Amino acid sequence: MKFDFLIVGSGFYGSVLAERISKILNKTVLIIDKRSHIGGNCFSDLCKKTNIEYHKYGTHIFHTSNKKVMDYMSPFMKLNNYRHQVLTKHKNYVYQMPINLETINSLFKKNFSPFEAKEFIRLLSQKENILKPKNFEEKALSIIGRKIYNAFIKNYTFKQWGIDPKKLPASTFNRLPVRFNYNEDYFNHCNWQGIPENGYTEIFEKLLSSKRVKTLLNCDFFINVEKFKPKYATIYTGPIDKFFNYKFGKLGWRSLNFKHLIKTTPDYQGTAVMNYADLNYKYTRIHEPIHLHPERKINSKSSLIIEEYPIYNNDEPYYPINDINSKEALKKYKHLSKTVSNVFFGGRLADYAYYDMDMTISAALQKFEKLKRLYS
């Protein structure tokens, strides 16, 4: 089999590059994936029992303010009008998340104005006397104080990552916004937000539709590496530590397990995602995908729900843990990756980075500009 480029992984990073290389450079691409489907963790499928489309690997909401990304993606998808709103269950009460004025007033049983709430939280966080936060817990305490942290963040974070929040970097807390108004829109500052009307899988089918692109599924790169010899280069989007056979040790990864259940009610929880902040729930959240497509009229007497359970250091990596040991090992892997000829690394797993979809697409487009200079 002759081809110009080999791409390992059919998620957004690999699929965008396959589309660009085949269309702009007029080169042939073989894209392989060890799974039985394209799309990586964004793969969507239809539940035959309920006729409800769901995201196999957890709810994915497309959101961006990057016009270049949106201009690129527009021919491949049309977003619906879904706006992501998350709720959190704590001690049998339901609160809005991210933390906003409603969350604060409900937890403290107050009726604060925005200014009063901001001052109240400032005084609570000031009591912690943390001027230079060294880790996730200290960063959280220095911003929201101990009661909010203990209620919504501490145990949920421990369940998510499987390690004491004191051992997570302070920067991890930057992903958790705090608002002093009643805005419950999770992605507050995005110009574009929604779910692709026809699901995610169709996007990848379009990205990989060129006759110059061949897709090979159920194909493990490491088992078949000697079979594939591209004319120009390999683009690898898998875990960077695995590529180098864990030469500097395994990086810390968080993985997920999903339990699919059919509930005999058309609406189980009234929202797409419900977080469970307390330790007595083994799952971190429950997804109910019927709420992701308000434009669809689904007459089902049952609803599909998906319980999400964290797994740590599993062979199916989802999110980098970014602990101290992993950070040190990553530096060595990054340095080593620069010594490999005709192999380009990218994407969430190869970069060991917590990318949103738009960030992954943007990174792929930037990488293509480099490839264009090299192989035009």
Of 281, 318, 354, 375, the active-site residue reads: 354
**Nearest partner of 182 among 258, 88, 117, judged by Cα:** 117
DSSP 25-76: S---EEEE-SSSSSSGGG-EEEETTTTEEEETTS---EEE--HHHHHHHGGG
Strands 62-64 and 192-194 turn out to be: antiparallel
**Nearest partner of 284 among 319, 325, 238, judged by Cα:** 319
Of 19, 82, 95, 179, the active-site residue reads: 179
Q: What's the CA gap between 46 and 288, in Å, rounded?
A: 13
DSSP 136-193: HHHHHHHHH-HHHIIIIIHHHHHHHHSS-GGGS-GGGGGGS-B-SSS---SSTT-SEE
Q: Could you confirm whether 57 is annotated as catalytic?
A: no
Of 72, 309, 356, 375, the active-site residue reads: 356
Backbone angles phi, psi at 375, to 5 degrees: -120, 10
Of 175, 226, 315, 373, the active-site residue reads: 175
Q: Could you confirm whether 296 is annotated as catalytic?
A: no
Q: Could you confirm whether 179 is annotated as catalytic?
A: yes
What is the distance of C-alpha 217 from the center of its chain? 22
Of 308, 333, 348, 355, the active-site residue reads: 308
Of 20, 35, 285, 348, the active-site residue reads: 285
Q: Could you confirm whether 285 is annotated as catalytic?
A: yes
Q: What's the CA gap between 241 and 248, in Å, rounded?
A: 8
Q: Could you confirm whether 308 is annotated as catalytic?
A: yes
Of 254, 288, 333, 351, the active-site residue reads: 254
| Euclidean distance between the first and the last CA atom of the chain, given in angstroms as a whole number | 22
Q: What's the CA gap between 285 and 89, in Å, rounded?
A: 9
Strands 86-90 and 273-276 turn out to be: parallel
Radius of gyration of the chain from its Cα atoms, rounded to whole angstroms:
22
- Residues designated catalytic: 175, 179, 254, 285, 308, 354, 356
